[in-house]
Amino acid sequence: MPCCGALGAHRRSTLLPSAPSSRLCTRHSAHVTLRHVTPRGGRGRLPPPIHPLPSRPQAGRACAVCGAALRRAAHAQSGGAARGVRGAMAGYSAEERGAPHSAGYRLFLKDAAGRYISPFHDIPLRDGGAENVFNMVVEIPRWTNAKMEIATKDPLNPIKQDVKKGKLRYVANVFPHKGYIWNYGALPQTWEDPGHKDEGTGCCGDNDPIDVCEIGSKVCSRGEVIKVKVLGTLALIDEGETDWKIIAINVEDPEAGNYNDIHDVRRMKPGYLEATVDWFRRYKVPDGKPENQFAFNGEFKDKDFAVNVIKSTHEHWKALIAKKTDGGEINCTNLTVSDSPFCCSQECAKATVDAAPPCTAANPIPPEVDKWFYYPKN
């Protein structure tokens, strides 16, 4: 029986909780013998089960979640995984698993009630305020090099470090830039549909949430959820795919009131937009790839254009989460979209997190990450 109808092709990666006192979804009590623990608190009712429990166990069968879990019983007997819990941010908090700067590192997000959620699907795109104010999930703090991203193919979509050709990915420093020159992240509940060709760019989407370059003065933390004021957008064409880059500023920035559209960035931060185009044009050149191209001759579009792009990608996400569009390998497990066939319980979410390796000390960053590359500007 699938767990809450949620995990799809990724059932194999959901494991038994590491701590003996943890629990699997109570819907699995007919399949495995575990002490039943009533869900805590009663705050915020969980969605109803998608599939009913069988009246009695089916011999020789187990839920995809519990079955995978039992195959990792030895891991469960380790006494429980240590957790790296980071402070609450705008009602959300982050929990680290694995060693930073390793392929096994994951950063899971939790809501204000301490429940595990998907940053892709469960954080609302916007929750009131002006029309151009949205929630942003910070994946990469400014000046850092590690290419962190929402893991769209993993259950709960934790933040992880990208891996290319078996190696952890770090962006190169193309002079005069050091790491990412903004706080970089994504807007939740958006999706650049690879099956949809944009009329303006002539290219299909890149299969990810829409990207954001936050230009405020604060260096944010990985996994932080902030409200941003959208100012404009740049249309990057990345290996033949449309990859929108939203330009925005943290609403809590001391100077946020001075920014209302893309021309304010040019006026208040001269050279910043030009540096942004230069960064995206050349950041893959050290990897042996050609310079990236842009739609609209590399010109930034204004706030209204950007908001319309966001609304469009939000509609694509709605079709994805309702299974009206084939998302391929995208994992749509969520806990709050009640009409989604991928909705699961908090107990299943907790089992996914508890299955991840314990939080340990960070691995050293390779020294070559600080190397500078010099290329003439075309």
18-71 pLDDT, tens per residue?
A: 333 333 343 333 333 223 333 333 333 333 333 332 333 333 333 333 333 323
Q: Residue 30 CB: number of other CB atoms within 10 A?
A: 16
Tally of CA atoms within 13 A in the half-sphere of 325 that contains its CB: 19
CATH class of 132-330: alpha beta
Give residue 152's pLDDT. Answer: 98
| Tokens (6 digits) for 253 | 């920035």
The CA radius of gyration of the chain, in Å to the nearest whole number, is: 21
Which positions of the chain have pLDDT values less than 70?
A: 1-90, 378
| Tokens (6 digits) for 346 | 């908090």
In the chain, domain spans: 132-330
Give residue 236's pLDDT. Answer: 98
Compute CA 128 distance to the chain's CA centroid, rounded to the nearest angstrom.
Answer: 22
Residue 150, exposed/middle/buried by CB under 10 A (0-12, 13-18, 19+)?
buried
Give residue 28's pLDDT. Answer: 35
Give residue 377's pLDDT. Answer: 80
Give residue 43's pLDDT. Answer: 38
**CA dist 364 to 65, 100, 101, 337, Å?**
34, 9, 7, 39
